[in-house]
Amino acid sequence: MSRITRSLSELFGNDPQRPVPTDYTPEAKELHAFQRTDVETKKRVDGIKVELAEKHAHPPLEKLRLKRWAVLIFVNLLFVLSFYLDIQLLEGALTASRFVGFHMADLNSALQVMLAFKHVVLNLLIGTVTVFIAWWLLGGRTFCSWVCPYHLLAEWTEILHLKLAEKNIVSDHPFDRRARTWFWVIFAVLALVTGYTVYETISPTGILSRALIYGPGLALLWVALLLLFEVFYSRRAWCRYACPIGLTYGIVGTTSPLIVQYELSSCFHEGECRKVCLVPHVLDTVIKGKARDTEVEIGADCTRCGRCVDSCPTSSLMFKFKGLGNLL
């Protein structure tokens, strides 16, 4: 299976495939063998001890996360201020907008409209193509973690969920990740068959974006319900198992040049990255012995949030723009 097929398969909800011996490059094989030697194992175990002590003494500040939150708030604020100050910089909402006059359309919203309406006017096409290219360049699901307002709220309530889980007050009930693919298909079919943009009715992204720009309303209750569900029942459930917008952008980002790249040689396999990741299946490769190559591109479901980059004690995960070298 090629990297792209594997990436899509994981995106659609299948469990990561265990590498077979022929999957490994000779370099990776050699490196895995080297890491298994007693000397290296001891070095790694000692290294992890030092790291954990260090982490305990100085809990690291997640710099990238704070920057990302700032970007997310800034983008959403741009919509709000553009309207309130009437500066016509970024008009509309996240579903569709105009950036200094240029049409932009959320790919999933545009898809729902196209399927329900069965006509595509030129402006919508322009907006859709523009956004497609932009998010392809930027990594697809980058939209989720860097722009979507629901993501930010869900991150905050996730902190609460984790605190409660630590005290054994709540526990995480995972769902089958294939559900999201089914939702995507069902909502597409519903739009086509009913002639209504059914998904928009429950889209927390659209609801929140409009609430920020045009004022709060009843629909926020639905968003609150989703957040409560995530706090008390299932960690990050919406983004992980339900949101068709995330899947749409995931597909767009499958071949994106902006990726997180894994470097096997420096990795201690401590698993800090998988603990913070929204979509830990994309980090399956960091488990000891699983990397197929010495450098591995993280798959399409990755939201490029950078929490793994922040949390990796050995800087084995880095942002990369293919063709431009390491970014961060």
Partner 1 sequence: MKKTGTKKKPMTLKVRRKFIRTLVMGAGLIGTSLLGFIPVLGRWKERVRPPGALKEQPFLASCIKCGQCVQVCPVNAIKLAELDEGFGIGSPYIDTRAQSCDFSCDGLQCVLACPTGALTHELNYPHETDMGIAKVVRQESCLAVQGKGFKGQARGPGYDGLLRYDEIDRWNPILVRDHPYDVELCDLCVRQCPIEIRANQCDTGKPPSGDENQCPPKRAIRLVQIDSTDGVRRMRPEILDGCVGCGVCDMICPVEPSVFEVDVTESRGWAA
Of 99, 132, 136, 183, the residue at the interface with partner 1 (CB under 8 A) is 183
Give least dist CB 35 to partner 1, A: 29
Chain-centroid distance, C-alpha 49 = 30
In this chain, which stretch among 120-128, 164-172, 287-295, 317-325 interacts with partner 1, using CB under 8 A? 120-128
- Does 91 bind partner 1 (CB under 8 A)? Our answer is yes
Of 56, 58, 119, 167, the residue at the interface with partner 1 (CB under 8 A) is 119
Give least dist CB 109 to partner 1, A: 5
Give least dist CB 238 to partner 1, A: 9
In this chain, which stretch among 47-55, 97-105, 152-160, 288-296 interacts with partner 1, using CB under 8 A? 97-105
Determine the Cα–Cα distance for residues 108 and 249; give it in Å rounded to an integer: 8
- Does 148 bind partner 1 (CB under 8 A)? Our answer is no
Of 8, 28, 72, 96, the residue at the interface with partner 1 (CB under 8 A) is 96
Determine the Cα–Cα distance for residues 70 and 305; give it in Å rounded to an integer: 12
String of contacts with partner 1 for each residue 203-232, x by CB under 8 A = ---xx--x--xx--xxx-xx----------
- Does 154 bind partner 1 (CB under 8 A)? Our answer is no
Looking up tokens 């699901």, which residue turns up? 141
Of 110, 264, 267, 305, the residue at the interface with partner 1 (CB under 8 A) is 110
Binding-site size for partner 1 (CB under 8 A) equals 55
- Does 83 bind partner 1 (CB under 8 A)? Our answer is yes
Binding residues for partner 1, rule: CB under 8 A, are 83, 91-93, 95-98, 103, 105-106, 109-110, 113, 116-119, 121, 123-124, 127, 173-176, 178-179, 182-183, 186-187, 190, 194-202, 206-207, 210, 213-214, 217-219, 221-222, 237, 241-242
